[in-house]
């Protein structure tokens, strides 16, 4: 477990009182104020002078406030989200084109989850399954999979691969109580408008002793505290609504009756072009050096971890 939270790295500007109006209009958009999703309080302060990024003064949860309505945000996740020119600011440059690297990344995650499972043929739900690459890795490991997502584009591709998927989100989608041994949520938790309710829904769907696996950016990581407002994790405001530390995600899971078993940093297999795109965000010279390597050794992928994405494994009590 790392430092408790990112409080020490935060600015002290923009204290928001509970008397702020519930809804306001900015730049043609309707933005809604929300209380802290972890403790329910409404007193916050600004974070790194990033517009609308705040930290709860009571519990330390960092979140976007005010924010657009989710009906607006849900339109983000169609075709262009999986093929976007600037992936460092949200979305993917070519999600299916990176299939092999993503599959290798997911196999490593399955290896960490497997020792916690009570069966080697678990009933599995992947929340935010995208085009089904994790479903593919899980199926290869003998898991009985179901995927859900809100993206029609992604689900069409997952169905074309033969996977059982349904359109919808949690809570909301009617699935049988206590029917899963494992639920996975990869790079999803920071996107949802009400993560506490999502955890309650997962608790209802899991069997006692069932495993919940979550990956999400770690706002308390060394990289996030060092880079402050320049941290890549903070560049996706609105697409990312919450920024958890190891402490705040543990508190939210505990409140939802989960026991956290393991939190560890996770990386990804990345090709050189994908590494260059991420490095370019921080250093043009470094990106140019890597680009020259790309000409010498094309088609190389490596497992890269900057320590600022965490994987949390928790058990339903």
Options 5-13, 57-65, 93-101, 309-317: segment touching Zn ion (CB under 5 A): 57-65
Closer to Zn ion by CB, 4 or 267: give it.
4
What is the chain's alpha carbon radius of gyration, rounded to the nearest angstrom? 19
Task: Tell which one of 10, 56, 125, 247 touches Zn ion (CB under 5 A).
Answer: 56
> Is 39 near Zn ion (CB under 5 A)?
yes
Closer to Zn ion by CB, 36 or 249: give it.
36
> Is 36 near Zn ion (CB under 5 A)?
yes
Length of the chain counted residue by residue? 317
Contacts of residue 268, Cβ cutoff 8 Å, sequence gap at least 6: 101, 102, 105, 303, 304, 305, 309
Number of residues that bind Zn ion (CB under 5 A): 8
Q: What are 260's strand-pairing partners?
A: 314
> Is 194 near Zn ion (CB under 5 A)?
no
Q: Name residue, tokens 């829904």.
A: 201
**Closest approach of Zn ion to the CB of residue 243, in Å:** 13
Closer to Zn ion by CB, 56 or 314: give it.
56
Options 19-27, 41-49, 192-200, 229-237: segment touching Zn ion (CB under 5 A): 41-49
3-state secondary structure of 25: strand
**Closest approach of Zn ion to the CB of residue 53, in Å:** 14
Q: Beta strand 242-243 with 67-68: parallel, antiparallel or unpaired?
A: unpaired
Distance of CA 270 to the CA centre of its chain: 18
> Is 202 near Zn ion (CB under 5 A)?
no
Closer to Zn ion by CB, 60 or 91: give it.
60
> Is 38 near Zn ion (CB under 5 A)?
yes
**Closest approach of Zn ion to the CB of residue 36, in Å:** 3
Task: Tell which one of 11, 58, 114, 301 touches Zn ion (CB under 5 A).
Answer: 58
Closer to Zn ion by CB, 53 or 61: give it.
61
151 vs 81: CA distance, rounded Å: 10
> Is 73 near Zn ion (CB under 5 A)?
no
Contacts of residue 27, Cβ cutoff 8 Å, sequence gap at least 6: none
3-state secondary structure of 46: strand
45 vs 47: CA distance, rounded Å: 7
Q: Beta strand 29-32 with 23-26: parallel, antiparallel or unpaired?
A: antiparallel
Closer to Zn ion by CB, 61 or 313: give it.
61
CA dihedral (275, 280, 285, 286) in degrees, to 10, reads -30
**Contact letters for Zn ion, residues 142-161 (x by CB under 5 A):** --------------------
Contact 258, 317 (CB under 8 A): yes
Closest to 45 in 3D by CA, of 81, 9, 10: 10
> Is 59 near Zn ion (CB under 5 A)?
yes
Closer to Zn ion by CB, 16 or 103: give it.
16
Options 53-61, 87-95, 148-156, 257-265: segment touching Zn ion (CB under 5 A): 53-61
**Closest approach of Zn ion to the CB of residue 37, in Å:** 8
97 vs 266: CA distance, rounded Å: 21
**Closest approach of Zn ion to the CB of residue 62, in Å:** 10
Options 33-41, 115-123, 177-185, 307-315: segment touching Zn ion (CB under 5 A): 33-41
Closer to Zn ion by CB, 52 or 207: give it.
52
**Which whole-number Å values give the CA distances from 259 to 217, 251, 266, in the listed order?**
20, 10, 20
112 vs 262: CA distance, rounded Å: 9
Please give the residue ranges that form the binding site for Zn ion (CB under 5 A). 36, 38-39, 41, 56, 58-59, 61
């Amino acid at each position: 477990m790392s430092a408790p939270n990112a409080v020490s790295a935060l600015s002290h500007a923009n204290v928001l009182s509970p008397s702020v109006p519930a809804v306001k209009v900015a730049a043609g958009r309707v933005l809604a104020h929300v209380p802290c999703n972890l403790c329910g309080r409404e007193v916050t302060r600004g974070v790194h002078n990033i517009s609308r990024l705040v930290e709860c003064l009571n519990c330390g949860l960092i979140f976007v406030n005010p924010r657009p309505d989710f009906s607006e945000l849900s339109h983000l996740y169609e075709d262009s989200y999986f093929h976007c020119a600037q992936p460092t600011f949200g979305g993917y440059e070519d999600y299916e084109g990176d299939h092999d690297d993503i599959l290798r990344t997911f196999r490593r995650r399955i290896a960490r989850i497997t020792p916690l499972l009570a069966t080697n043929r678990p009933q599995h739900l992947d929340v935010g399954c995208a085009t089904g690459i994790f479903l593919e890795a899980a199926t290869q490991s003998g898991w009985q999979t179901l995927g859900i997502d809100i993206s029609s584009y992604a689900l069409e591709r997952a169905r074309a691969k033969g996977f059982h998927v349904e359109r919808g989100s949690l809570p909301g989608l009617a699935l049988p109580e206590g029917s899963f041994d494992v639920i996975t949520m990869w790079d999803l938790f920071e996107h949802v408008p009400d993560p506490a309710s999502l955890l309650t829904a997962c608790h209802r769907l899991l069997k006692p002793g069932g495993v919940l696996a979550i990956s999400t950016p770690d706002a308390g990581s060394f990289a996030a505290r060092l880079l402050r407002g320049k941290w890549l994790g903070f560049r996706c405001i609105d697409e990312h609504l919450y920024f958890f530390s190891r402490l705040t995600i543990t508190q939210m899971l505990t409140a939802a009756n989960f026991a956290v078993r393991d939190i560890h940093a996770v990386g990804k297999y990345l090709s050189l072009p994908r590494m260059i795109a991420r490095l370019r965000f921080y250093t043009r010279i470094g990106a140019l050096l890597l680009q020259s390597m790309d000409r010498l050794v094309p088609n190389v992928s490596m497992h890269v971890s900057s320590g600022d994405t965490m994987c949390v494994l928790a058990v339903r009590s």
